[in-house]
Amino acid sequence: MRGWPVLLIALLPATAFAQSAGEVERCFQTPGACSNSGAAPAPLAPAGPAAAPRAAPQPDYATVINSPEPDRRKLQESLRTLDKYNGPIDGNMQSDATVKAIGDWQKGHNAPVTGKLTPPEAVALNNEAARTPIKRIDPSSQAAAAPPPTPAPSVQSNADALKALQARIAERRKAAEPKAEAAAKSLIGDLKAYVAADGKGAVGEQFAGFAKWYTDNKAAGRTVGEIAPVIDDYGDAKAGAAVTSEVLLESKKDTSSQPQCLVFAWIEGNPRKNAQTFSCNDIAGVEKWKTDQALKSAWR
């Protein structure tokens, strides 16, 4: 047994030479009892260099700020639909009013309030606005109350000016709505007639996207069910009265049904002019069509 300390000292790292033979043997037999007062033994395997912590990626705001003008204008439209924005639809994502509106929207979703949008936030904002029903303001509900005296223009508040603007817009929409609904009703009649004639009619030539939808469903052995419209927008364009309408189309096979949402856009006439079909998710495409037609909306 006298040879054990010598052998142990030979096997241990150099730092163990500072310990007595008894301590070395005690450490070998009971590692937990080793004193930490001396130098720590060298590790069995050398540790690699500590990895530097990764910096968190910075949010991408530049993509939305530098996106095409129709996309930026659509974001402002979406903010207005959600009652967050009342400024001009000019595509300026860095104006004070737009930055405040974005911040209010982010705050309502418990997101970091930056006043700027990342691409995922822009998509979420547009989708939320697309699901929000159009609010139709009926000023007649306040007709019974005597209007308060209008202050002089020099002291009229911004809130009063906004209320006056909203009242004028509501009156304009109220006057235009019957024409818009009549246009949509005429379209639905033509779509149903096209289906009844097994894919024949002028509406299929005007709206190639609808004709393709009908052909694809017929080839799959599906029949057409409900066709229901919702007016999306209406107003004066450079070539006449412009209409955009979301139409829910239903196809059926056996006991299953499959919905499809299409946006029909056209200039009123006989035949319809500049007629196009979009997916309801193609918000940018619809807005570009409105811009190309120089549409002055009666809804807003």
In a domain, 19, yes or no: yes
Taking the C-alpha atoms of residue 276 and residue 126, their distance in angstroms, rounded to an integer, is 21
Could you write out the DSSP letters of every residue in 146-188? PPPPPPPTTT--HHHHHHHHHHHHHHHHHHHHHHHHHHHHHHH
CATH assignment of the domain containing 102: 1.10.101
CATH assignment of the domain containing 276: 3.10.450
Taking the C-alpha atoms of residue 284 and residue 126, their distance in angstroms, rounded to an integer, is 10
- Same domain as 190, residue 121: no
What does each of the 300 residues of the chain score in pLDDT, given as a tens digit? 455 554 444 444 544 444 555 565 565 555 555 555 444 555 555 555 666 667 778 899 999 999 999 999 999 999 999 999 998 999 999 999 999 999 999 999 898 999 999 999 999 999 998 888 765 545 555 455 556 666 555 555 777 777 777 777 777 677 777 888 888 889 999 999 999 999 999 998 999 999 999 999 989 899 998 888 877 788 888 888 999 988 988 888 888 888 888 999 999 988 899 999 999 889 899 999 999 999 888 877
Place of tokens 């006056």: 164
In a domain, 200, yes or no: yes
Helix (H/G/I), strand (E/B), else coil: 256 = strand
In a domain, 194, yes or no: yes
Beta bridge partners of 264: 245, 277
In a domain, 147, yes or no: no
Q: Which of 102, 130, 158 corresponds to the end of one domain?
A: 130
- Same domain as 210, residue 120: no
In a domain, 46, yes or no: no
**Other residues' Cβ atoms within 10 Å of the Cβ of residue 115:** 17
In a domain, 185, yes or no: yes
Q: How many domains does the chain have?
A: 3
Beta bridge partners of 136: none
In a domain, 140, yes or no: no
In a domain, 104, yes or no: yes
Cβ pair 286, 244 in contact under 8 A: yes
Range of the domain at 24: 3-33
